[in-house]
Amino acid sequence: MSKPSNTAFSAPKGVPDYVPPASAEFVAVRDGLTRAARLAGYGHIELPIFEDTGLFARGVGESTDVVSKEMYTFADRGDRSVTLRPEGTAGVMRAVIEHSLDRGQLPVKLSYAGPFFRYERPQAGRYRQLQQVGIEAIGVDDPALDAEVIAIADAGFRSLGLDGFRLEITSLGDDTCRPQYRELLQEFLFSLDLDEDTRRRAEINPLRVLDDKRPHVKEMTAGAPLMLDHLSEEAKAHFDEVLAHLDALGVPYVVNPRMVRGLDYYTKTTFEFVHDGLGAQSGIGGGGRYDGLMEQLGGQPLSGIGFGIGVDRTVLALAAEGKTVASPARCEVFGVPLGDDARARMVVVAAQLRQAGIRTDVAYGGRGLKGAMKAADRSGARLALVLGERDLEEGVVGLKDLATGDQRPVPLDDVVAQVGAFLGEG
């Protein structure tokens, strides 16, 4: 039912708006995390916002909370069941298969950024529209590649100045040891007094029960057998080599044998970045290897590894450390024209400065000098260009340092070079 026409709208529950000046921090975090992937040769992939529901049911796992409780699923006008993407890996894998990227050079290295959707109870750091940066390296099963993926996430965080986080890592084994461990874990779980839903989860994927956050379930499962104690020789060798590479790269970590990720496709190396400054929602990113996912989605039996980093949570983690990565300045130069002819020329000067890569804004609306200079100060610019009618006749513009108040005339024909030189000196 639509709202009355005189009632203001607000954003949907659990969906944050990022507006200036806070949006500058969001963009700086997202771009910083993405840059770390670019430096390692990961190409950009733009994914559909919605996909066939079956992709996530099959790829993410029907026993997960994501699929069973949190997906935004609806029938489109063609009566097809589609779902707003809850995570990125399944969509990336679908695209790799569909476009035959796996038939070329391996590994296929891709990165993505954008919104994902989960119907969760909103709280700080947990939104129904969450923003992520992710990477996937598909087609090569190499412990050194596992370490590279983890190191990219670590480098991304550190490039933003974040340092109050820790990397937790474990191995979830492979096909040679997971079936035996699954039986062992189920035997343990079925001996407990589990409620019906939890018992059903134990039947589908017993690892999910170890991820249950309810205190009484955590207490009951405290003595559960751990995957790390039941790894095959091959899986253990893989994990040991990953840790050796991380040591060589100088990436600190903590082995957490009880860690379980929220998606079913993980195998072998599995990891999470945690920041204790965020309270209950302490995870700021994580990922792992997924050996059987591509084949499960109809492709070749190729392995892959990747991560998803929460941009929203990284912004909150920086705030918890009292840090910021964004400049408060909207622009570097602010044009102050005084009069109609001066405004017409200033618009051209601003365009020339922008073409030179200098962020420039102009005081519009015919405001006076006092109001325009207040706007210049609020913009965060370092320079104001003050242009009156007499200046225009003389072919000059006043170049004013907003930090010191010093002002000097410079030729209009040379203003781009003069501004560039001033900013370069700073």
| 136 annotated among ligand-binding-site residues | yes
Paired residues of 44 in beta bridges: 111
Extract the tokens encoding 191.
């001996």
| 87 annotated among ligand-binding-site residues | yes
The region that residue 114 occupies, defined by phi over 0 for left and psi between -120 and 50 for alpha, beta otherwise, is left
Extract the tokens encoding 262.
């929220």
Distance CA 152, CA 139 (A): 18
| 88 annotated among ligand-binding-site residues | yes
Paired residues of 69 in beta bridges: none
Per-residue burial over 53-92, b = 16 or more CB atoms within 10 Å of its CB, e = otherwise: bebbbbbbbebbbbbbebbebeeeeeeeebbbbbbbbbbb
| 265 annotated among ligand-binding-site residues | yes
| 296 annotated among ligand-binding-site residues | no
| 120 annotated among ligand-binding-site residues | no
Cα angle value 299/303/308 (rounded, 5°): 100
| 290 annotated among ligand-binding-site residues | no
User: Alpha carbon 160 to chain centroid distance?
Assistant: 13
| 118 annotated among ligand-binding-site residues | yes
Distance CA 253, CA 168 (A): 6
Q: Number of helices (H) and strands (E) in the chain: give both, helices first.
A: 16, 16
Q: Is 271 helix (H, G, I), strand (E, B) or coil?
A: strand
- Contact 261/286 with Cβ under 8 angstroms? yes
Q: Which residues does the annotation place in the binding site?
A: 87-89, 118, 132, 136, 261, 265-266
Q: Which residues does the annotation place in the binding site for L-histidine?
A: 87-89, 118, 132, 136, 261, 265-266
